[in-house]
Amino acid sequence: MAEAGSFADRVKQQADIVRVIGEYVRLKKSGQNFTGLCPFHGEKTPSFAVHPVKQIFHCFGCGKGGDVFSFVMEMEKCPFPEAVKVVAEKCGIPVPRPKERTPEERKENQQRAVLIEIHREAQAFFVRQLESTAEGRAARAYLEDRGLNAETIAGFGIGYAPSGGDVLLRQLKPKYADKLLVESGVISRDQSGARLFDRFRRRITFPIANESGKIVAFGCRALGDDLPKYLNSPETPIYSKSNVLYHMDRAKEPIRRQDFAILVEGYMDAIAVARAGIGNVVASCGTSLAEPQIKLLGRFTKRVIVNYDPDVAGQAATERSLTLLLEQDFEVRVLALPAIGDKKADPDLFIREKGAEAYIKLLKEAPPYVDYLIARARQMDLSTGEGKQRALNFLMPYVQRIPNRLLRSEWATRIAQQLRIDEPVLRAALNKSATERRSEVKVSPQLVGKPAKQIERRLIRMLAEAEGFKKELAQRLQHGRLYEGLETEKVFAALIVAGLSDEPIPATEIGAQLDERERRVFFEILFEDAQEPTWEEAESCLDALRRRQIEQELAKVQKTIEANPSGAGLRELLERKQELMKQLTAAGQPG
Ligand SMILES: [Zn+2]
């Protein structure tokens, strides 16, 4: 991945993997390696190793392994360029500004910068309107009525879009081309295309920032009974609603620290929860959570409490989100707030009425999603067989997504008890669906290959690091095609290509060419304690492979002869057999 001469390559050369990983894992020196408890799977005895010379890590438990960048990518749940930056920063290497490659890219970047600038100006404008106009003061009274004080209003950048229809437009028009104003989404064009006007009118404005804190859109709530109640920015070159979570820019640190996030529906909910002192809250801004939003969240935590509105739409949204979150391996709990009087409570209303303490208490008690779902299923009519079947059909897709078999089994028991369903019947249904699903479940133990034989392991190790003779060894293996048919054939093939090249090729690069199972075998071999290789030993390994090759051909010839003892070509076959037996004797006996 790190191209020679690239910035990533430079960072890799300079970064000390032991130091970088040491910031996440307590490492102890053990022989030539460092070991510690694997951060990627739960364990009590260390099976996680870091190789300071080869600059690689490998876990003998779960099989994760790679270089310093793959470690950071996995740990921080971030893409490669981000990982390069993280490592560079940890090692004090200045990060260059990204260069645009083509004129189009430069134009796009410039355009994005202008769109962000327009949002910055619009934001300042909305805030001013709320502060200093008569209309704005009415909006302020409304906000205060909803329990938002001046500090919160300022803290969340809440503003007001006036009713005039072109007040913002007049402000922006002298500075920006019409086309860019429309592209930004804060200004609209009427159907004739002739007239421009403010998109948001007579609305409270909530700035929506991207992950790095730049305002890229607005979410706006009608002040009166105007419809729609909520109106948001359209999709623009800087904003896609499925990529952004409201409040993520501020929530990411608390989320990382506490290793869980609270997911709510709207900005008012997020603001209410954040004001209650719970910073790790984000809003999906709309009832449906999209996969990119989950991936964004997944970079910071894999644990989430879903606290959507308790109405029908909110329940449907909760269940849809659950499916997506479970697919992305999240650990999910669901908080369904109790009604207040006869009103169904969203987080905003609940905190206003009952206070932050009460909310935090419920948050702590939020049940795992299966409990929530069982409770939902119990609301269905369970008095008939059909009703039970419906309840079961409702639950089954979620239960199937529980990756852990024991846990799945436990839930099956609970569901059977709670819905009064015959347990064997339920288990049969569950097992059936589990089998159907098997192909999509990633089972890592299957990846563990049979251990490569000792001779193969030694040769692989020599090919990887016997600086004195690895080229010679690669040539010999290549020439006699001695590695063909070995279980580790692909590892050999990659190492031979590397060995024959004059450039040194690092282990991680070779690992990157292998599939997961072969990479594991390869890394395990690199971490084995082993004595210095000698050419003598290499030769004896080569002899062994040669013998194996001859023996295999001999067996094949013998089989052909036996299959057709009177056939044509028997003479040639017998001659070949003699020849092979002679070779075998010359190759010596296995020592
Ligand atoms: Zn592990």
Would you list the DSSP string of 476-518?
A: HHHHHTTTTT-TTHHHHHHHHHHHHSSS---HHHHHHHS-HHH
CA of 530 to the centre of ligand 1 (A): 23
CA of 15 to the centre of ligand 1 (A): 22
For residues 401 and 327, the answer to whether their CB atoms sit within 8 Å is yes
pLDDT tens, residue by residue, 60-85? 888 899 999 999 998 888 889 889 99
E strand or H helix at 261: strand 261-264
Residue 286, both tokens: 């709309």
CA of 56 to the centre of ligand 1 (A): 14
Asked whether the predicted pLDDT for residue 441 surpasses 80, the reply is no
CA of 519 to the centre of ligand 1 (A): 15
Instruction: Give every CB contact of residue 559 below 8 A, 6+ residues apart in sequence.
Output: none
CA of 74 to the centre of ligand 1 (A): 12
Binned at pLDDT 50, 70 and 90, residue 438 comes out as very low
- Helix, strand or coil, per DSSP, at residue 203: strand
530-537: which pairs have CB atoms within 8 A and are 24 or more residues apart?
530/458, 530/461, 533/458, 533/461, 533/462, 533/465, 533/466, 535/468, 535/469, 535/472, 537/458, 537/462
User: How large is the angle between the packed helices 68-76 and 7-14, nearest 10 degrees?
Assistant: 100
CA of 304 to the centre of ligand 1 (A): 23
Distance of alpha carbon 89 from alpha carbon 69, whole angstroms: 13
Asked whether the predicted pLDDT for residue 372 surpasses 90, the reply is no
* C-alpha pair distances (Å), 315 with each of 318, 346, 552: 5, 12, 65
CA of 45 to the centre of ligand 1 (A): 11
Position 321 scores a pLDDT of 87
Which among 140, 122, 367 is positioned nearest to 236, based on CA atoms?
Answer: 122
CA of 47 to the centre of ligand 1 (A): 7
CA of 237 to the centre of ligand 1 (A): 40
Which of 187-201, 494-508, 564-578 comes out lowest in average pLDDT?
Answer: 564-578
CA of 308 to the centre of ligand 1 (A): 35
Position 98 scores a pLDDT of 65
CA of 37 to the centre of ligand 1 (A): 8
CA of 195 to the centre of ligand 1 (A): 61
* Mean pLDDT of all residues in 405-423: 80
CA of 57 to the centre of ligand 1 (A): 10
Which among 355, 304, 364, 352 is positioned nearest to 328, based on CA atoms?
Answer: 304
Residue 339, both tokens: 């009604």
pLDDT tens, residue by residue, 159-197? 999 998 899 999 999 999 999 999 999 999 988 888 999
DSSP string of 267-283, one letter each residue: HHHHHHHHHTT---EEE
Asked whether the predicted pLDDT for residue 567 surpasses 50, the reply is yes
Cis? peptide before 228, omega within 30° of 0: yes
Asked whether the predicted pLDDT for residue 96 surpasses 80, the reply is no
CA of 154 to the centre of ligand 1 (A): 46
CA of 405 to the centre of ligand 1 (A): 20
CA of 332 to the centre of ligand 1 (A): 23
Which of 95-104, 184-193, 343-352, 438-447 comes out lowest in average pLDDT?
Answer: 438-447
